Amino acid sequence: MSGKPKLHYTKGRGKMESIRWLLAAAGVEFEEEFIETKDDLEKLRNDGVLMFQQVPMVEIDGMKMVQTRAILSYIAAKYNLYGKDLKERAWIDMYVEGTTDLMGMIMFHPFQPAEAKEKNLALIIERATTRYFPVYEKALKDHGQDYLVGNKLSWADVHLLEAILMAEECKPDILSAFPLLQAFKGRTSNIPTIKKFLQPGSQRKPQTDEKFVALVRKIFNF
């Protein structure tokens, strides 16, 4: 046993990507075991290691953790990326829930039926630029600090950077009206652990393509 966290998921972004980001940002090395076939998933289920028969599953500190938010909260707290008190945690939670909703839309986009894709993409862009990004732009403007909460790097910052990059993949100039987010993106991308994760060869997964969509549909039956 290596002591490193071990991630169980398919070889793609999905719901595990935010976990890869957070571990990487915290400077934590991790291992990955990829589910490549339906049988791989069935084996995990039959071994009784998936609490609710679902992945992501992360083996960490003797626990077999499931449920993305539970896993992220644990990692954030363990590596001091969750604020200094209950109120800072509340702000981080609110911000993260917003970026989760936005990234959720982007995550499901490749799985939409072809005829709905254009409209869905327009909705993603609208939500990003009118509902979500203005909130983070304002937060940074109001306190003038480098980080969203408590003048210190937190889970909220890592999650926001991940969301910005995903949104830019949908529309490259999506940050055009958000100067502070542009600066935030530049600064946060240069944090050594994050810079390393953004380089080729890291465990960051590529954008979801048709091949991955087909694989996911096959393994998870939808």
**Which parts of this chain interact with another protein (CB under 8 A)?**
51-53, 61, 63, 65-70, 73-74, 77-78, 86-87, 89-91, 93-94, 96-98, 101, 131-132, 135
Q: How far is the CB of 135 from another protein (least distance, A)?
A: 6
Q: Cβ closer to another protein: 90 or 122?
A: 90
Q: Cβ closer to another protein: 12 or 83?
A: 83
Q: Dmax over Cα atoms in the chain, in whole Å?
A: 52
Q: How far is the CB of 41 from another protein (least distance, A)?
A: 14
Q: Cβ closer to another protein: 94 or 122?
A: 94
Q: How far is the CB of 98 from another protein (least distance, A)?
A: 5
Q: How far is the CB of 164 from another protein (least distance, A)?
A: 16
Q: What is the C-alpha to C-alpha distance for residues 178 and 181, in angstroms, rounded to an integer?
A: 5
Do 167 and 102 form a contact (C-beta atoms < 8 A)? yes
Q: Cβ closer to another protein: 68 or 208?
A: 68
Q: How far is the CB of 69 from another protein (least distance, A)?
A: 6
Burial class (CB in 10 A: 0-12, 13-18, 19+), 220: middle
Find how far residue 128's CA is from the centre of its chain: 16
Looking at the DSSP bridge assignments, the partners of residue 64 are 59
Q: Cβ closer to another protein: 134 or 187?
A: 134
Q: What is the C-alpha to C-alpha distance for residues 16 and 8, in angstroms, rounded to an integer?
A: 9
Do 97 and 132 form a contact (C-beta atoms < 8 A)? no
Q: Cβ closer to another protein: 70 or 121?
A: 70
Q: How far is the CB of 68 from another protein (least distance, A)?
A: 8
Specify the DSSP element, H or E, that contains 105. Answer: helix 86-108
Q: What is the C-alpha to C-alpha distance for residues 152 and 144, in angstroms, rounded to an integer?
A: 13
